[in-house]
Amino acid sequence: MIALVTGASSGIGAAVARRLAREPDAHLVLVARRRERLEALAAELGGATVVAADLVDPGTPALVAERVEAEHGRLDLLVNNAGVGGRGSFGSSGWAQLQQTMAINFDAQARLTEALLPLLRRSAPSAIVNVGSVASRVSRPGAGSYSASKFALAGWTEALHLEERRHRVHVALVQPGFAVTEGFPQQELLDRRATRWMVSTDAKVAEAIVDAWKRRRAERYVPRGYALVPVARALLPGLFRRAMGGGRFTPSTRSQPTTGSEQQRQPRP
């Protein structure tokens, strides 16, 4: 089984790699920007293909596809996990922040998938698991660019799920809520007894990703109770917006629903 994980240098990506390494005859391809961390993880796992590259760079998708084709000749599972948080109101951060967040959280996922889709089809039955966020169904102040990128990812994933079914490529969406990662320690939520229950771990998200892959699930929330959040948003939109807009149920922008490695990236020149 050949599995490729993006954002594998830390957080959910590293947890997914460790979990997949326990699968029978697993061979992993680890993709992220930080080579030292990828190589350390590969050594820990007993070996893996390491591709140190920035997914935003135009040449990265073709580079990754060529490496997978040359070294493995097939691809059974693609986990699109890499991501960043987009914090700040639109009035203060503007289009530049929105563009930067979309570039990695949506554009990079679609471009890499496009490059690897022929290989996934040839390797079918195969699967793609996109790591989204509860923020792909609801939004809140200070997280507009993040939610916009996740809404886009969710919509595209649903269409791709239907399109690729006839090619026997399963496409799933895993939706974490608040989870402890390198980029989002979630300390504010963990410090309060009333909100501590809301926080998950990268290991639990990794298990959900494996579950979505193995059991061919279309969508999976982590923890499962977060599936009620978009239901509440749909049934009571006015009340939900009032609560999210300033009620005590709204964590500050120091906490974010989680996706990927969630590393804060430096602005690109």
Residue 49 vs residue 183, higher pLDDT: 49
Per-domain boundaries in the chain: 2-228
Q: Averaged over 238-242, what is the pLDDT?
A: 75
Segment holding 189, helix H or strand E: helix 187-190
Q: State residue 67's pLDDT score.
A: 97
Q: State residue 94's pLDDT score.
A: 85
Quickly state the pLDDT bin for 7 (edges 50, 70, 90): very high
Report the mean per-residue pLDDT for the chain. 87
Q: State residue 264's pLDDT score.
A: 41
Rounded Cα distance, 116 and 121, in Å: 9
Give catalytic status of residue 146 as yes or no: yes
61 close to 111: Cβ distance less than 8 angstroms: yes
This prediction has a pTM of 0.86
Quickly state the pLDDT bin for 262 (edges 50, 70, 90): very low
Bond into 125 cis (ω within 30): yes
* Tens digits of residue pLDDT in 80-97: 999 888 778 888 888 888
Q: State residue 246's pLDDT score.
A: 56
Check 29, 84, 97, 146 and give the catalytic one: 146
Q: Which string of b and e fits 49-79 if b means at least 16 CB within 10 Å?
A: bbbebebbeeebbeebbebbeeebeebbbbb
> What's the CATH code, domain 2-228?
3.40.50.720
* Tens digits of residue pLDDT in 149-162: 999 999 999 999 99
Quickly state the pLDDT bin for 186 (edges 50, 70, 90): confident
